[in-house]
Structure 1
C-alpha cells in the first residue's frame, strides 16, 4: 500500500518547470476586442520576402540575408494592442522576436517605445520575455531602458499565447494570456510616453546583447529562425481621434487593475520575474526616478 501511494505521488508531481500557473486574474481583456484583418491594420516595413500570410496568421523569419518587420497603418495615442505569438524551439540565441509600440520614425534619435521582446536562447534553457519602456530615448547610445524580464510559466514554443500592451495616459500594463505581469504607472510627464506611437512586430539579429548579454550569438546553421503571429488586435484612440475619445481599460472599470488582477500580477513577479531594473545595484537610479520609494 505504501509503495502504491508513493507511485501515485510521483505521477501527480509536476513534471516540468511549467507546472505552476498563476491565479486567475478574474477578467479577460482579450475577449473585449475584435481580431483585425492583418492587411487592414498593418503593412510590411522591411524584409517582405521573409513574410508570409496564411488565413490571417503571419509568419516572419530571419536568415543570414535578412529579418522582417511590420507596422500598423495608423498611429495611436492610447489603446489595447495584442497578438498571439508562437516561438521557434531549439537554438535561437541572439534572435529577437518583438511586438512593440514606437515613434522612432517620427522622432528619430528622440523616440518613445514600449516593448515586448522575446530574447532567444540556447538548447535546454527557457526564453526570456523582456518588457521595456523608453521615454525620449537618444540616438547617441544614452538610451535609458526600464527592463523587467520574465521566464514564463509555459513553453512559448508549444502553442500560441496572447501577449498584450495596454497603454493609457495613466499607465502601461503588460499582459500574458490576460494575466497582468507588469504595471508601469505615470508618475511624471518626464518618465512616461505621451506622444503617438505605431504598433510593430519584427524578428532580427541582436547578437551583441540579446542572449546572456551577448555571450551567445545567432548561429545560422539553425536558420531560418521563425516567429508566428495571429489574432491581431489594436483598439483605442488613434492619433486622429477626437479629444473626447476615452482610453480603453484592462479591468472591468476605469480605475486601474482589480484586486484579483493585482494578486495575479504579484504572483507572476514573485515566481517568474528574473530581472527588475529598479533592483539592479549596477544601474544609476538617478536616471530612473520612478524607482525611488
Structure 2
C-alpha cells in the first residue's frame, strides 16, 4: 500500500512522541464495566448489546478516568419505533460542579429521523444543547462517535466528521473544562417525558426490548489514577519539557481547513436546534456563542 506524504508525516509525528497514560483497546471488558442492570447486557463476540424494556434500561462506565485525548465507540442505534428512548454516550467528572460532554441519541417513530443532541457542562452548568439530524440512518449499521478533548477545544465527531466544537475562551473569562478527570459512560433509558417531540410521543412498550449495539471501544487518552491529587491532574496530562502528548500538537489546537468546511456543511444541512439562537431561553446571547457561530 502506498503511503501518502501526509500519512508519512503523521507517522513521523507520532513516532517522535512519548505517549504517557495511554489506553487503547477494542475489548469492552478491558476498558469498561457494567454500571447497572447486568441482566440487560448481551455479549455476542465483539458486540455488546444493551436492552431497554419496561422493567429497566442499562448502562456501563469506564474503569478509569481521563483528562485529554480521544474516546471513540461504534454504535448502532435502536431500530424501528424508538420513540421515547434515549441512548446516551458521554464523558463526565464527579460532583456538583462537574464537567460533561454529551451525545444523546433521541429515538423517534418509525420512519422519522433520529436526532442527536450534544451538550457541554462546565463547572456544573450546562444548557448548551444543540440538536441535529444525521446524513445516514444510524439504525442500519455501526457508525463511529468520538470526543476529542485537549486544552484548546472539545470536538464532537461522527465518522470523523466534526459536528460541534467547543473552544477554550478563558481569555474572555469563560471557564473551560481542563482540570477534572472524566469517566466515559453509555446507557439506554426511557425519557418519553421529553425525548421525542418534546414528550408528545410516548414509548410504545409493545416494541420492547429496545436494543442499542456497540463495538470498537477505543480510548487514547491520559489516564488519571485515583491516587493523583486534583491539583496535579492537569500537570500529569499536559505536555512539558521532554513529555509530549499527541493531543497537544499545534495541528490539534483548532480544526483543519477541511474539518472547518465539514462543520459548516453539517451545520448548514443538519442543525435543527442551537441554544445560541434560542432567544426565548436566552434573551441575551451567551458570550461563547459569538465565537462558536459559523
CA deviation after TM superposition for structure 1 residue 66, in Å: 0.5
What aligned pairs does 1:71-220 form with structure 2 within 5 A after superposition? 71-103=61-93, 106-107=94-95, 109-137=96-124, 144-188=126-170, 190-194=174-178, 195-220=180-205
> Following TM superposition, by how much is the alpha carbon of 1:250 offset from its aligned partner in structure 2, in angstroms?
10
User: Residues 125, 281 of structure 1: CA spacing in aligned structure 2 closer, same or farther, 3 A cutoff?
Assistant: same
Q: Which residue of 2 aligns with 1:271?
A: 269
Paired with 2:39 and 2:249, the residues of 1 have a C-alpha distance of 40
CA distance in 2 between counterparts of 1:265 and 1:118 reads 19
Query: What is the rounded CA distance, in whole Å, between the counterparts of 1:246 and 1:101 in structure 2?
Result: 24
What secondary structure does 1:267 align onto? helix
| Secondary structure in 2 matching 1:158 | coil
SS of residue paired to 1:278? helix
Is the 8 Å Cα contact of residues 119 and 126 (structure 2) preserved in structure 1? Answer: no
> Aligned partners of 2:79, 2:155: CA distance in 1, in Å?
27
Superposed displacement of residue 292, structure 1? 3.7
Structure 1 residue 116, shift from structure 2 partner: 0.7
Per-residue deviation, 1:90: 1.6
* Cross-structure match for 2:47: 57
User: How far apart, in 2, do the equivalents of 1:116 and 1:144 lie?
Assistant: 13
Per-residue CA deviation, residues 100-126 of structure 1 (Å, 9 max, x unaligned), is: 0012xx31x332210011001012210
Contact 1:75–1:239, Cα closer than 8 Å, also in 2: yes
Alignment size in residue pairs? 257
- Higher helix fraction: Structure 1 or Structure 2? 2
Report the 3-state secondary structure (helix = DSSP H, G, I; strand = E; otherwise coil) of the residue aligned with 1:234.
strand
Q: Say whether the 8 Å CA contact 1:144–1:287 is kept in structure 2.
A: no
* CA shift for structure 1 position 277: 0.8
Name the SS of the counterpart of 2:259 in structure 1. helix
Detail structure 1 runs of 4+ shifted over 6 Å in the superposition: none
- Pairwise CA RMSD of aligned residues? 2.5
Matched, 1:254 2:252: yes
Unmatched segments (≥5 aa) in structure 1: 1-25, 138-142
Q: What TM-score do you get using the length of structure 1 for normalisation?
A: 0.81
Once residues 186 and 173 of structure 1 are traced to their aligned partners in structure 2, the CA distance between those partners, rounded to angstroms, is: 11
Q: Tell me how far apart the structure 2 counterparts of residues 181 and 45 of structure 1 sit (CA, whole Å).
A: 28
How many Å separate the matches in 1 of 2:287 and 2:147?
Answer: 22
Shift of the 76–68 alpha-carbon distance from structure 1 to 2, 3 Å rule, reads: same
